[in-house]
Amino acid sequence: MEENHTESHAYFMREAIRLAREGMRSKEGGPFGAVVVKDGKIIGRGNNRVASTNDPTAHAEVVAIREACKNLGSFQLDGCIIYTSCEPCPMCLGAIYWARPEKFFYACTREDAAAIDFDDEFIYKELSLPLTERKIPAKPLLRNEALPVFEEWRVMEDKVVY
């Protein structure tokens, strides 16, 4: 889809916003929705389901990406566009980059989310700190036992590279 397809982009963003409202009203989670589009068709839909599933990773973007990848039979979203009702949090942004869509659009900003008590700024700040200065301690353990697994992966000839 080219940049000049403003009407199409608006259509898909409105669907993401509709999913946000629907999920929020049904108490599944916060007011967030997302869709994944390929060749002008929605192949993945998601709304925030953190509260209804007790899964802190069940953000709208992650739910939509999982559904889209299942429908495509691929762990990559080549040629896809993601529409999300809010600027992605750090986790969702990471998921988007791992899925490798063509691009993504967002409606509300992270500042808008912070204004309704969905503030991810502390995570952005934590990520910029050395591991030793973060609020959740991270301690190395058994690296020498784990490294042989990495070496086995490195030389594996029939691995699926991603």
Amino acid at 95: A
Q: How far apart are CA 159 and CA 21, in angstroms?
A: 42
Which strand (E) or helix (H) includes residue 74? none
User: Do residues 22 and 47 make contact, with C-beta atoms less than 8 angstroms apart?
Assistant: yes
User: Computed from CA positions of residues 7, 13, 18, 21, in that sequence, does the dihedral angle turn out positive or negative?
Assistant: negative
Within 13 A of 159's CA, how many CA atoms are on the CB side?
A: 11
Among the listed residues 61, 121, 152, 157, the single catalytic one is 61
Has 121 been annotated as catalytic? Answer: no
CA 117 to chain centre: 19
Spell out the residues 6+ positions from residue 63 whose beta carbon is closer than 8 angstroms to its own. 34, 45, 46, 47, 48, 49
Q: Please list the active-site residues.
A: 61
